[in-house]
Amino acid sequence: MYQLLLTALLVLSVIIVIAIFMQPQKNPSSNVFDSSGSEALFERTKARGFEAFMQRFTAVLVFFWLLIALLLAILSSR
């Protein structure tokens, strides 16, 4: 059981990294040190389409990753 969960955690970790890299950029010209104005830095827009799907997909993957990591911690303490 422990080895199966450990393997699932490793595979899920790789999938999460791939999912994070697949997410589109919010604003390709955004630069923290840009002096064009700070209102664009704190502006939030609602994600739509592929971006919204990737955000939800990544959140679900991270939830399962944390759940498996918690189960592994519980199993290893016994």
Q: What is the residue range of 60's domain?
A: 1-25+32-77
Q: In this predicted model, which residue has the larger pLDDT, 10 or 30?
A: 10
Concatenate the DSSP letters of all residues of 8-76 into one string.
HHHHHHHHHHHHHHHSPPS-TT--TT--S-STTTS------THHHHHHHHHHHHHHHHHHHHHHHHHHH
Higher pLDDT residue, 12 or 24? Answer: 12
Q: For residues 20 and 65, what is the distance between their CA atoms, to the nearest angstrom? A: 14
Name the more confident of 31 and 9. Answer: 9
Residue 41 has a pLDDT of 58
Counting the structural domains of the chain, the total is 1
The residue-averaged pLDDT of 55-78 equals 95
Tens of pLDDT, residues 13-53: 999 999 999 988 776 555 556 555 555 556 666 777 888 89
